Chain A
Amino acid sequence: MNRSLESYKINARMNLYVIQTKKFKTDLIGVYIKQPLNKHEASLNALLTRILMRGTVKYPSAKALNIQLESSYGMIMVSDVVKYGEHHILQFKLQFPNGKHLLENHIFNDALELVEEVIFHPLMEKDHFIEDYFQQEKDNLVDEIESRINDKMSYALERCIECMYDNRPYSEYVYGNVDRVKAITVDELTKHYHHILETAQFDICVMGDLNPDEVKASIQRLPVSHVESSDYHMMCDYNHVSEIRYFSESLNIKQGKLVLGYKTQICQNDPLYEASVLAYHIFGGGPNSRLFHELREEKGLCYYVFAKSDRFKGCMFIGAGIEDEHQVIVETSIHDSLQRLKEEGITKKELQMAVDEMFSSIASLSDFPNSFINFYYTELLGRPLDHYDIDDMLYKYQSITLDDIKAVYQKLELDTVYMLKGE
């Protein structure tokens, strides 16, 4: 495990994390801009991550920007917005070959300059984003939101979340909704951009074979002003379920997609948080899980089954692709399986295997630069930085008991059953 993480508070709104490693042939810069998720701003944030890639003062078109990336040994730059609980994080990532492999030592500064161009120096006309770019990206975002229906597996999960958190901020789709996108004006988007530049928290992760002092000196140049960021409160969902709600929708599909939404009452800072990660995994994650075994291997009812949770919101979802007419039997099987876990818990062997798997997956994260910096960022999100230690986290996993796992299952309350079926 790579533990050589240096963190620096550059100013009131900007943190820098440098992870030194020699093993990769590329370095990576990740900029995370923290925003709250809500109905009003979700589409604005999404649109912003797209229009900023359209042109900068120095590279006035997407083509000019792409040519610059291609000429620099195929640098890869991506931008998007990601939903973590009720956080809505704008992300900009740039991966570039390390200078030592190409005899070009200035490549880090070139890379940082590109990131700076994209985020801080977009092409503007009369102090507004370019009208043509704005219209094109608006149209594209509308298409993108409409096309989410193409991926039925994630569509069913998103619909279950929308039904479960009806009209509350967490129900918002990561790119907002079509009506909201259509209503955005160039003036509104430009104002939102300046608002973010002046108030948001910037976290910058840099990973590679780099000198932290030099990186720090370069990062200090970024024009993020030294004023406190406007913070907001994250809501973990501690409400109990009064009655289970059922939703069903029909589409032209051949396989039904069933999603069950549970309230967990357990968020990232809960003492049972680490136990919950293992508990969900044992229940429905991967080929060793109870549900994989019972639904697929024993009964042949499905090919895929998954468990997915949101540690910031306190919810967990079980999903499976099934025949429409098997909905009742699958629902009953999942219910019975959870009931057994609530009553009997798991075996010592199951716990040990899950702990081993967890350790292995945390250890192997350091083989993937992008997953690694995302992992750090989400671990630090909403926690005081100076209290975090990866060894503490590993220790917590090791100390989990069978009773902890059982306690997690006992807290699970089924809230919403969503079924997407054929017409």
Chain B
Amino acid sequence: MPKINYKSNEFLVFLVIVAFVIVATASYPGFFSIPTLFDLLRNGIVIGIFAIGVLLVLISGGIDVSFTAVAVFALFTTTLTVKQLGLDLPWPLVFLVSVLIGMGLGLINAVFIAGFRLPTLIVTLGTLSALRGFLLTFVGSQLISNVPPSMQQFSRLVIVRGTNAQGFFYSLPWAFAFLVGVVVLTWFLLTRTLLGRNIFAIGGSLESARRIGINVRLTQVFVYAYVGGLAGLAGIIHASMARVANPFDLVGLELSVIAATVLGGARLSGGYGTITGTLLGVILIVMVNNSLILLGIPSTWQSVVIGALILLGTGLPSYQAKRAARKAG
């Protein structure tokens, strides 16, 4: 049995989620239901895949803000190419193309970060802006509203569907299985492979990692390619589920995703973070994003609430640590 650390960020976020559910159910009894749960799971797919990627980068001691631009670049280019060539590719191949484009774009980040050793925030801010501009200028700025048939077909695949006693319809798409797959794969990578431990090690101390002979560059190249690949996957899932490829989509979401990851306990200084924490952070952010409207709170309040959660969720533990240190002299 894993021990529960009652002082960890994970536990704190878990408590906030429970509190949120209680308050929400009290003011809107229909909240605590299967349809709400499935809504939450569906809305968590894309953010969840993004957040797992961000977690990896944060653990390695970097930060990536370009993943939304990578995702939208990959999804739009893939959809456009498949359509214009008139190919009837099955959806797994379409997804693969998008993932590969994402990886390729991630490698651009890797060249600057691992190759030229530039600060990760600067590099990814640059690629965020450049990729989006390139996409809109040279690839296209027209929304594609009839995506290829295989993508539409994917959007209709569901694991379960039904109607509850109140007559509300619910369904869980197969896309959710991708989130589960990404979680399992990344968990295995981080905790069971030496490559994963190398990622923790370079985030803990880059200099020490070099000294004991970890190939820091290769590890970084892997991290940014992996995140790029995940972004490509999240992007094409997003487009398939919405059945529309919008080149103006997704960009702007990056701070919410980073917020979810940080709320879950990953440190911006690197070396720390767990999958459980990240998923809890995602649940909280998605819940706030989707459910405040249900409670009759205007949507403009979402960002206020998310901001407050970040300040409390990450500020409180570090304030307590400081007080304890001062008390101890």
Q: Do A and B come together as binding partners?
A: no
